[in-house]
Amino acid sequence: MSAQNNTAFYPGSFDPLTLGHLDIIQRAAALFDKVLVGIGQSDSKKYLFSTEDRRQMVIDSCSHLSNVEVQVYKGLTVDFAVKNNISLLIRGLRTHIDFAYEQQMFEMNKTLSSSVDTLYFPTAKEYSHLSSTLVREVARHDSALDGMVPPAVLKRLKP
Ligand code: ADP
């Protein structure tokens, strides 16, 4: 089986998808033949949204991007990549905290599989303050979410 060289795999929790995530997906979609967004499902994590909701919000928000696909996965990201012949992960970088975490993750992934590499996208300036955690907190206090999430997410956070 040949490697899916032109496929980039973007793993994350997406709980929920923010405009920061969407910006990374759009930029990657312009560079690669296919972007596969991986909705992580971990038994040890507590999510606000169900796996199906997290998946559907990404599908709805990426309907304008014909080369983006969405798939739920369990287990280690790098194992999923190897099983699916994917050799490139993409991740976003906002702060030095992201950088420190991603560097560790990169080293671990390389140790587990030398065939999988990671490409990092620096956050767009207007989204550098956005995280799913902060979006959930703002929504919990019923504050405005303008400029933070796509419409498909807004309607689920503020039904
Ligand atoms: P995880 O639980 O795997 O960190 P997230 O859904 O929180 O999943 O994030 C997925 C990826 O998107 C991570 O690489 C994260 O750094 C990146 N990311 C999250 N928010 C932004 C943003 N506002 N700008 C750029 N990248 C982001």
Convert the pLDDT of each residue in 98-128 to its tens digit: 999 999 999 999 999 999 999 999 999 999 9
Which three-class secondary structure string do you get for the chain?
CCCCCCEEEEEECCCCCCHHHHHHHHHHHCCCCEEEEEEEECCCCCCCCCHHHHHHHHHHHCCCCCCEEEEEEECCHHHHHHHCCCCEEEEEECCHHHHHHHHHHHHHHHHHCCCCEEEEEECCHHHCCCCHHHHHHHHHCCCCCCCCCCHHHHHHHCC
Higher pLDDT, 68 or 143: 68
Q: How many Cα neighbours within 13 Å face the side chain of 1?
A: 8
Report the pLDDT value the prediction gives residue 159, as an integer from 0 to 100.
75
Please work out whether the CB of residue 92 comes within 6 Å of at least one atom of ligand 1.
yes
Please work out whether the CB of residue 47 comes within 6 Å of at least one atom of ligand 1.
no
Q: What is the CA radius of gyration of the chain?
A: 15
Report the pLDDT value the prediction gives residue 76, as an integer from 0 to 100.
97
CA distance 101 to 9: 18
Residue 66 is among the residues annotated as catalytic for this protein = no
Residue 27 is among the residues annotated as catalytic for this protein = no
Residue 132 is among the residues annotated as catalytic for this protein = yes
- With the most atoms of ligand 1 within 8 angstroms of its CB, the residue from 9, 19, 24 to mutate is 24
Average pLDDT for residues 3-30, to the nearest whole number? Answer: 94
Give, in degrees to the nearest 5, the angle at Cα 152 between 146 and 155: 70
* Separation of CA 2 and ligand 1 centre (Å): 29
Please work out whether the CB of residue 150 comes within 6 Å of at least one atom of ligand 1.
no
Q: Kindly report the protein residue whose alpha carbon is nearest to atom 3 of ligand 1.
A: 12
Report the pLDDT value the prediction gives residue 4, as an integer from 0 to 100.
60
Report the pLDDT value the prediction gives residue 158, as an integer from 0 to 100.
85
pTM of the model: 0.95
Please work out whether the CB of residue 20 comes within 6 Å of at least one atom of ligand 1.
yes
Mean of all residue pLDDT scores within the chain: 95
Residue 21 is among the residues annotated as catalytic for this protein = yes
